[in-house]
Amino acid sequence: MTEEERRQIEEKVAQARERIAEAAAAAGRRPEDITLVAATKMNDADRVRAAIAAGVDVCGENRVQELLEKYEQHAYDGCPLHFIGTLQTNKVKYLIGKVSLIESVSSLKLARVIDKEAEKAGIRQDILLEVNIGREESKLGIDPDELFSVTEQIAELEHVRVRGLMAIPPKPQPNQEKTLYFDRMSKLFIDISAKKYDNITMDCLSMGMSADYTEAISCGATIVRLGTAIFGARHY
C-alpha cells in the first residue's frame, strides 16, 4: 500500500474516534467504554496492519478463509481478533484458539458446536448471541421471542461463555425512528442482564456499523464495527 493510503486510514480512524467520543458524551457515557472494531473484510494484510497502527481496538473478520490467510501472514499481530460474519458449523474448528470473541452465534446448534470444539482445545470460548432483531427472512440470528429460552440452554454449556448480544438491524423505514431496532436490542440486553444466568457475563452489546454507529452508541452499544468508515468503500 502507498503512504497516502496509510495516511488516509490513520485519518479515518482518528475521525471515527472523534465521532465515538462525541456520541458517547452526548449519551452521558465514556468514550473508552466503546470498543472500535475494524471490519477488515476484503482488506489485505498491509491495510489491516495500518488500521492497527492507527489505533483500532479490535480487528473483525467476516470470512473464515480470509481470516486464516491473513492470520498466517501475521496481519492481526498485536490486536485482538473477533469473528463477525456468518459462521457455518463445519468452519468452527478453524477459529478456536485464534479469535478472542465469536460475535455471530446465530443458533443453539452453532453454540453447541463451538462448545464441542472449545472442549477439544481445552479452552472456554467467549461468544455473543446474534439476534435477528428485525425478524428478516434473509438474515440468520435468534428470534427475539426465543432469545431467553436459547440463552438459558446455552448457559448450560461448559466451554462457551456468553458475553452479550450482537445484531445487524434492518434499515428503518422512512416513518420509523432511526434508533428503533437499537432501542429494542438495548432492552433485550438489559432484560437478560437482570436474569443473572450462570455462565453469562453481559458486558458486550455489539451493534452499529459505518452508517449508524453514533445512533447505536446513543442506545448503549459497547462495540461498533466499522468497515467503510475506516477503509473506504469496498470494491466487489
Residue 45 in 3-state DSSP? helix
Residue 111 in 3-state DSSP? helix
Domain boundaries, the chain: 3-230
142 forms beta bridges with 131
What is the model's pTM? 0.95
Contact 209, 226 (CB under 8 A): yes
The x, y and z cell numbers of residue 104, run together, are 455471530
pLDDT tens profile 98-137: 999 999 999 999 999 999 999 999 999 999 999 999 999 9
Query: How far is Cα 23 from Cα 44, in angstroms, rounded to an integer?
Result: 30
Mean pLDDT on 156-185: 90
Q: What is the dihedral of CA 11, 16, 18, 21, to 10 degrees?
A: -160
Could you give the C-alpha distances from 71 to 48, 58, 64, 98, 102, in angstroms and in order? 11, 14, 10, 8, 16
In which band, very low, low, confident or very high, does the pLDDT at 233 lie, cut at 50, 70 and 90? confident
Any idea which architecture 3-230 has in CATH?
Answer: Alpha-Beta Barrel (3.20)
What's the Rg (C-alpha) of the chain?
17
Mean residue pLDDT of the chain comes to: 95
